[in-house]
Amino acid sequence: MIARSLKRFVALATPLTLALSLAACGENGSGSQVVVPAPLPSSTATATPTATATAVAYNSTRCFTQVIQGQNGANLKSIIIPDTLKLDLTRSTRFPNGRHPSDPVVDILLATLLLDMNVTGQGPNTLANVPLDPPSNDKFFLLTFPFLPTPNGSAQVASGTGSGFNFRTDPDSAYVSVDRMGNPAIATALVGSSKKNSFNDDTPASDDVGDKYYAEYISELNKLFGLIGDDVEGLGLKICSDKT
Amino acid sequence: MRGMIKTLLAGSAGAAALAALLLVPTGVATSADHLDPPGRTDGGVDANPDIPADIADVFAWHSNGTTKIAMTFAGPVSASATTPLYYDRDVLYKVNISTQAPASTPEFTIKYRFGKGAGEKDWGVRIEGIPGVTGVVEGPVETNLEKDGVKVRVGLFDEPFFFDLIGFRETRSTGTLRIRNDRNFFDGQNDTAIVLEIPDANLGAGVTNLGVWGQTARFGGNI
């Protein structure tokens, strides 16, 4: 009831009142029903923004080498090179220690890419605690096998019956690579267009050779900071990138 | 500090900055791996995208003495009755697991292949290389299969990824913050998934650290 009332209130609120309502949210992100700062659509046309030239150059190397809290000394570089999803079975799962389907990986990844982890109060969960994006899936995950929710709508599903299926038996050499994935959003966020295919054709073993894609990751993250570094700082957050 | 951050994020300055946060290069934070690489799997880039071979997500988690691994693909797709099945006999799926150093090479490579049955919607899966399982596991999709303590299932599921892609795109195109944490682009959509549950013992004695990644490949070359 309270959440519904709050949500209705937020829908009518101005950014200023949103500031007050969000400040009252629980520290654990319990204000998940609150719409994240979405200013009401402007009645006047807004020009499409373009990246503006800046004299500031960013070097995001430190973002890859800083220790991430709660990850047993791991840093972003060790987590994404090689690009495998790493899971320590002795610790509870929450990305980047493995990945449970319910983990808010976009918010966690953005915080890990952008924020200085040496600042008190900043960590991999800073944005997820707001939260920036939807905090959970639209359907509950199952506690038992097969864990993922049933499909939506009236979609076709296979019969679940039959026998004598006609499988290929060709060797692996008869197949050509299409896609690979370890960590979420690394291929989409930190690999530039010109390297997309080659990255997906590679293997984690190749990632390790001379840290093959490390310079690419840094370069792409530098570009990201060039667009938004000052804005993130404008929030009162300290970024992990150095500026020259 | 968190409270301060929330306040800042909620204020108009924070809104503007968050808008900028979303004005990022194409592809940044738009998906976990859906439609990547775009030149092969994104219909907006490739006139003939390889939807069945497009990995959407890889998940790996551990609890109660078992490791769970899920790899989703061919999604997100509409929940409409006209959406086809995306089992493809010509695609080879691999789930790789490293249990020993170096973490970049797999001790186990689990291979999935799909095969058509006699009925219109009869599809089967053959899985080889499962840790601790002798031989192959084979049977219809949309069925829980179990052998030597390992559970496997392939089928259509709710798309498990959540993210306000609409807000991301609108913000990028208008410069006005549109992202919301109560709007999930992936709501109500589906994808196909491979799910495994593997007892710790099947991974080997003393194994405590895993590296997991997925791969797809198409018979005869990219389409």
Contact A204, B104 (CB under 8 A): yes
Length of chain A in residues, anyone? 244
End-to-end CA distance of chain A: 51
Does any domain span residue A159? no
- Min Cα distance B136 → chain A (Å) is 13
Contact A66, A76 (CB under 8 A): yes
Does any domain span residue A116? yes
Positive or negative CA dihedral for A122, A125, A128, A130?
negative
- Min Cα distance B132 → chain A (Å) is 18
Record: contact B181-A130, CB cut-off 8 A: yes
pTM (2 d.p.): 0.84
**Chains A and B: how many Cβ contacts under 8 Å?**
457
Contacts of A189 in chain B (CB under 8 A): 27-29
Contacts of B202 in chain A (CB under 8 A): none
Element (DSSP H or E) covering residue B108: strand B108-116
Contact B203, B67 (CB under 8 A): yes
Contact B167, B180 (CB under 8 A): yes
pLDDT for residue B113 is more than 50 = yes
How do residues B11-69 score in pLDDT, each as one tens digit? 333 444 444 444 444 444 457 788 888 899 988 889 999 999 999 999 999 999 999 99
Mean pLDDT over residues A42-47, rounded? 36
Record: contact A165-B126, CB cut-off 8 A: yes
Does any domain span residue A12? no
Mean pLDDT over residues A105-109, rounded? 92
ipTM above 0.85, yes or no: yes
Lowest mean pLDDT among A97-101, A143-147, B14-18, B37-41: B14-18
Query: What angle separates helix B12-22 from helix A214-234, to the nearest 10 degrees?
Result: 160
Cβ–Cβ contact B201 with A under 8 A: no
Mean pLDDT over residues B109-127, rounded? 98
- Structural domain tally of chain A? 1
Does any domain span residue A207? yes
What is the phi-psi region of residue A128: left when phi exceeds 0, alpha when psi lies from -120 to 50, beta otherwise? alpha
pLDDT of residue B30: 59
Domain span including residue A124 = 58-133+178-243
Does any domain span residue A195? yes
Does any domain span residue A15? no
- Min Cα distance A60 → chain B (Å) is 16
Nearest to B53 by CA among B212, B192, B187: B192
